[in-house]
Chain A
Amino acid sequence: MVITKGRRAGGRALQYTALLGYLAFLAFPLVWLVSTAFKTSREMARLDPTWIPLEPTLDNFVQALGEQDIIGAAQRSLVVALASAVLVVAMALPASYALARHRSRLNAAALGWVLVSQVFPFILLIIPLFMILRQLGLVNSLAGLVIVHATFCLPFVLWMLQGYVRGVPRELEEAAGVDGAGRWRTLWSVVAPLLAPGVVAALMFGFVSSWNEFLFALILLKDPQIQTLPLALVRFTGPEGVVRLGPLAAASLMATVPSLVFFSFIQRRLKGGMVAGAVKG
């Protein structure tokens, strides 16, 4: 079957159209957030919504910044999310390697238990957890929140990473051993580059989980000076689902910047990690 240039170009155009449609779909929430953040209350309440604000205003930003410490809260959330993500990966990585490489019935049971631990509703655990953290002097501290976030994220990250470890052929490690590399050298030079995409994915998961987490932060952080972003954002909501949409959109928009920076940084590492494992040097 001969594929003509015209048909090839048509197919390409179709691909680009689909891609553009998909991008538009993905971008919609962000575009709508930006649009809403600059609208007046009257414009937001129109029956025929506008894409581009008719009378753009900064009032929502002024209100958001004036009423809540959005910038400070975003900084604290960034630090907590970064620390939680790194801590959980640091804990999960050796455990996942052990689970994946030293397989036994006990390991299967352990992995099952890890997943079961995810089904408990947080609200059941929060009171005993609170009391333990209070004994440790970690209530009302960001360190306590980091530990809690990392702990609750750990089972899923462990599950994720042991899958990545299993994806690294055991033969590569054996070949490195034959070439004279020691255990640590094998792990560092052979396994680690191949695991990099998984580690980055786990970091992303840990970061997002912690960045969005609300309930533990609400319970643990009492001092207004150390509260995180979800706590600041929820204050634009009232009883029975009533929302001050303008300031909430403005605050949310400002709050997305740190996470966008983080993801743009870590996304490059994700690509780098994929390539790094392709050739054994």
Chain B
Amino acid sequence: MRRITALPALALTGVLALSACGSGEGEGGPVQLRFLSLAWQTQSIEANERLVQEWNDTHPDIQVEYVQGSWDNVNDQLLTGFEAGDPPDIIHNESSALAGYAARGYLADLGDMLPQELKDDIRAEAWETATFDGQVVGVPFLQESQVFIANREVLEDSGVRIPTSEEPWTWDEFAEVSEELTTEDRYAVAWPLGSPVNRVLNLSLNFGGTFFEVAEDGTASMRVGEQEREVLQRIHEQLYEDETAAPETVGMSGSDPLPAFYAGEYAMIQGGVYTRQQVVEQAPEDFEWVTIPPLVGDTAEQGAVSQTLSVAADSAHPEEAAEFLSFFLSAENQVDLALGDWLLPTSREAAQAPELNTEENDWDVATASADNLVMAPYLKVQGFDEWKNRVAQPALEEYFGGAITIDELAQRLETEGDDVLGRYR
């Protein structure tokens, strides 16, 4: 029993000792900024940490503390920080989360704090993703396009035309090719549609499908017309009529079908450009692959969200934080960040970098696809997150699962969607 009775004493000693572990903020001295980063891949973390270290070495009067967050929980963390008046100074997030924060006044307007050089360098379409009511609440720096990764050997053996950025496939040609590539023991394509909403909305812009009508006062309503139905129907047809798409992948997340793809069960897999990294790291060494550029409908346009860096409105040092952003997201640094995440830079100058235009790992195809990226219309919609989670996600799951028709889907998206969006008016 002596050992057990020792435990309370040990614990109390521990608690007392722990109370000394809090980090205090010293008065005077250099400005201290906290940078919440969501980098999670090895190269990306290295690039982030290296750039912060470089900044700290050259700016002794403005020191940045690198804090790692995680994509899954960042908004819980931020909301608490904002509500309690203690957010990180510099915030890494994606533009789809910014509308709500901007509406509540949580983010600083960076419009007058950023150098003209940076403003001019980043594509206007990217700036749109982080501009709300004329306020620039984030600097967009990484984007992704939707592509297919194909088994090159299968494509060559089938004799189909391998598309290039200059001559991409149309959706019609893609459907024809898919028929060619489908055999008794192989589907042409795997559509991992476990989280289909953003993907479908982004691709629907190929046919002008926007899903939301946003009035000048910012209120939004749903519209599921012919243009919005086009991509939905084409995917559905592949699954249930042409039977060229693997139905078992419908509920999967992006990387789940990769092992079967490497094993030759699918000729192509749909995903973001970052999927290339997983293929490079995981595929058998003799596996040959090729990136299929974005498909073309009426246009090749795709909706895009951006990874962004913002400054908290409650930050005590917004000017200094904006100064750090300007350094961190310079063209030169965006090249490293893009390479680290296998994504596309928003900087025009960065997009010209040789490393991002080499044929190695199809960087040239990936970088060229950035030209088709425009602001995803849903970024401006108040209540999009709730619409996505409560209405669109379950309805699309049922549609792609073959449980409801396109008319039923359209009706649900419109009626239930308007109910949700109405609460944000």
Q: Give me the interface of A with B, judged by CB distance under 8 Å.
A: 41-42, 44-47, 63, 67, 79-80, 82-83, 85-87, 89-90, 123, 126-127, 130-131, 134, 137-144, 146-147, 192-193, 196, 199-200, 203, 214-215, 218-219, 222-226, 234-242, 244, 269, 273, 276
Contact = CB atoms under 8 A, between A and B. Distances in A.
B84 A131 contact: yes
Contacts of A130: 80, 83-84, 86
Contacts of A44: 282
B223 to A, nearest CB: 26
Given A196-B4, A218-B77, A83 B22 contact: no
B284 A42 contact: yes
B58 interface: no
A46 B285 CA distance: 12
B80 A142 contact: no
B264 to A, nearest CB: 9
B229 interface: no
Interface stretch (B122-130, B255-263, B368-376): B255-263
B316 interface: no
Contacts of B360: none
Given A83-B15, A234-B73, A224 B68 contact: yes
B21 A235 contact: no
Nearest to A199: B4
Contact of B18 (A80, A137, A239): A80
Interface stretch (B40-48, B148-156, B165-173): B40-48
30 contacts: A44-B282, A47-B263, A80-B18, A82-B7, A82-B11, A82-B14, A85-B11, A90-B8, A90-B11, A126-B80, A130-B83, A130-B84, A139-B22, A144-B22, A146-B18, A218-B76, A222-B67, A223-B23, A223-B65, A224-B68, A225-B23, A226-B23, A235-B40, A236-B40, A238-B40, A238-B41, A239-B72, A240-B253, A244-B40, A244-B42
B254 A240 contact: yes
A237 B69 CA distance: 10
B259 A235 contact: no
Contacts of B282: 41-42, 44-45
A83 B18 contact: yes
Contacts of A218: 69, 73, 76-77
A16 B50 CA distance: 57
Nearest to A76: B21
A142 B263 contact: no
A74 to B, nearest CB: 15
Nearest to A226: B21
A192 B1 contact: yes
B34 A222 contact: yes
Interface string B222-264: 0000000000000000000000000000000111001110110
Contact of B255 (A131, A140, A226, A242): A242
Contacts, number: 157
B84 A134 contact: yes
Contacts of A137: 22
Nearest to B44: A238
A86 B4 CA distance: 10
Contacts of A225: 23
B70 interface: yes
Shortest 3 CB-CB contacts between residues of A and residues of B? A86-B11, A141-B22, A45-B282
A90 B86 CA distance: 33
Contacts of B8: 86, 89-90
Nearest to A214: B73
A236 B42 CA distance: 9
A217 to B, nearest CB: 10
A240 B42 CA distance: 18
Contacts of A140: 22-23
B406 interface: no
B281 interface: yes
Nearest to A246: B281
Contact of A269 (B4, B65, B80): B4
A83 B11 CA distance: 4
Nearest to A68: B68
A222 B73 CA distance: 14
Contact of A143 (B21, B83, B194, B259): B21
A63 B42 CA distance: 8
B22 A143 contact: yes
A203 B71 CA distance: 33
A86 B22 contact: no
Contacts of A192: 1
B116 interface: no
A83 B284 contact: no
Given A83-B11, A126-B80, A127-B80, A45 B18 contact: no
A83 B14 CA distance: 6
A126 to B, nearest CB: 6
A63 B253 CA distance: 24
B48 to A, nearest CB: 11
Contacts of B260: 47
Highest count of chain A CB atoms <10 Å: which of B12, B21, B69, B86: B21
B104 interface: no
Interface in B67-108: 67-73, 76-77, 79-81, 83-84, 86, 88, 94
A86 B255 contact: no
Contacts of B194: 241
Given A45-B283, A127-B84, A240 B195 contact: yes
Contacts of A131: 84
